[in-house]
Amino acid sequence: MSHATDDPAMVANKAGAGAGTGAAAGYRPERTLRLGVELRRQFKRRRTIGVLVLMAALPLLLIGALQLGGTEEASENTRVNLVDVASSSGLNLTLFTLFATTGFFLVVVFALFFGDTVASEASWGSLRYALATPVPRARLLRQKWLAALILSVGSMVLLVVVSVVAGGIAFGFGDVQTPVGLALDQGTALVRLAGMVGYLAVHLLVVGTLAFWLSTVTDAPLAAVGGAVFTTVVFAVLEQVEQLDGIRDWFPTAFNYAWTDLLQTPVDSGDLFRGVVQGLVYSAVFTALAVRHFARKDVTS
């Protein structure tokens, strides 16, 4: 007498569930380590909360600094500078905030979120347990990459939103006054501001993916974050050496401030285009190196 569990079709289905992979029946790699779970884990960490608080507080500190300076000294200065323009409107404050943070502050934020991904798990000893769940290595790396990208870009967006709102309350929601004396209406300025944020997200991704690659190489998060920041600073210093001439255009920091071209009318898109393409290429290379190294990494020790 045969039982229901001996039905040939059911046996074939059970065998096919893990055929060729050795996986247990019902195992689905795509259901392991969901992005929402990884993001919730990251949001519970003190460094994430600290960065978000600092991003929200920085525009307020800049507003306080500008107001402490007063308008008397600014009116005596006949040369148009970024400080004068920053206090013209909330949008102007936002542009000044981006300009002040592009060279180093945002670099550290992207390096922190990307460089702390794999290395921190390895230093805690939890990486091998995550892979034993089992989470495929490629999926684990992808989810952590996406989580770091969301946190990095989200932090920058938070900085921009707080700057616009707090700056508008402090200095008014007027048009943008550019350093060269041109004005942009609010609608145009908001569209271009969105373009600036998008450009910076792509350009700073170079720093992030470099830190991400280093995070798969070392078990020390500080080494991954510091290595990416230090490399960026070195290239920024070398960029000041005029004897390097055209070589400087190939540095990852070459088009750091190309987003300011969006303030021109008409917009000069040459450096913007090259900065985006160069940023995507560097990011793809560093990400590929991270995937290659992590695929061969020994995480059992």
What is the structure's pLDDT at 167? Answer: 94
Query: To the nearest whole number, what is the mean pLDDT of the chain?
Result: 83
Containing 270, the helix (H) or strand (E) segment is: helix 270-296
Question: Left if phi > 0, otherwise alpha if psi is -120 to 50, otherwise beta: which for 70?
Answer: left
Cα–Cα distances in angstroms (integers) from residue 169 to residues 63, 68, 166, 185, in the given order? 10, 16, 5, 18
Q: Domain for residue 185, yes or no? A: yes
pLDDT, position 34: 79
Average pLDDT over residues 179-188: 81
Is 35 within the bounds of a domain? no
Q: Are the C-beta atoms of 225 and 112 separated by less than 8 Å? A: yes
Specify if 18 maps to a domain.
no
Does 136 fall in a domain?
A: yes
Residue 27 domain-assigned (yes or no) = no
Report the first-to-last Cα separation within the chain, whole angstroms. Answer: 51
* Domain membership flag for residue 274: yes
pLDDT digits (tens, 9 = 90+) for 107-146: 999 999 999 888 887 777 666 666 666 767 788 889 899 9
**Residue length, the chain?**
301
Q: pLDDT tens across 61-99, in order?
A: 999 988 886 544 444 443 335 566 788 899 999 999 999
Q: Is-above-0.75 flag for pTM?
A: yes
The domain containing residue 258 runs over which residues?
46-296
Phi/psi at 176 (nearest 5 deg)?
A: -85, 130
- Name, of 15-29, 33-47, 149-163, 258-272, the range with top average pLDDT: 149-163
Q: Do residues 128 and 299 touch, judged by C-beta distance below 8 A? A: yes
User: What is the structure's pLDDT at 81?
Assistant: 53
Within a domain: 258: yes
Q: Are 224 and 106 in contact (CB under 8 A)?
A: no
CA separation for the pair 252, 206 (Å, rounded): 7
Over 70: is that where the pLDDT of 197 sits? Answer: yes
Local structure of 179: helix, strand or coil: coil
Tell me what pLDDT residue 13 has: 43
CA–CA distances in Å: residue 246 to residues 138, 236, 249, 250, 255: 38, 15, 6, 8, 13
Q: Domain for residue 20, yes or no?
A: no
Stretch among 50-64, 69-83, 161-175 having the lowest mean pLDDT:
69-83
Integer-rounded Cα Rg, in Å, for the chain is 24
Q: Averaged over 145-165, what is the pLDDT?
A: 96
The number of folded domains in the chain is 1
